[in-house]
């Protein structure tokens, strides 16, 4: 099978268009509704959305509670 230069060029273009780019600069989608998602918002310097905000607050509250519990010094 032989292809002309023009056909070969077209074939290459078709193949490129058909393939999703790999290893590109596309960022991962945000895990909305999770503490992880809230971290992703903050890492990007954008406001935390209403789905992620309560999860972040819950995580923070949980950590503070855990800290208070261990602060008593009877953990071990």
Instruction: Give least dist CB 66 to Zn ion, A.
Output: 24
Window 44-73: residues binding Zn ion (CB under 5 A): 49, 51-52
Task: Choose between 45 and 76: whose C-beta lies nearer to Zn ion.
Answer: 45
Does residue number 36 form part of the binding site for Zn ion (CB under 5 A)?
A: no
Per CB under 5 A, the segment of 2-10, 11-19, 20-28, 29-37 that binds Zn ion is 29-37
HEC string for 3-69: CCHHHHHHHHHHHHHHCCCCCCCCCCCCCCCCHHHHHHHHHCCCCCCCCCHHHHHHHHHHHHHHHHH
Residues that bind Zn ion (CB under 5 A): 32, 37, 49, 51-52
């Amino acid at each position: 099978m032989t292809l002309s230069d023009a056909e070969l060029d077209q074939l290459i273009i078709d193949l490129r268009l058909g393939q999703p780019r790999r290893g590109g600069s596309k960022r991962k989608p945000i895990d909305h509704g999770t503490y992880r998602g809230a971290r992703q918002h903050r890492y990007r310097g954008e406001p935390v959305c209403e789905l992620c905000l309560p999860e972040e607050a819950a995580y923070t509250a949980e950590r503070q509670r855990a800290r208070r519990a261990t602060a008593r010094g009877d953990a071990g």
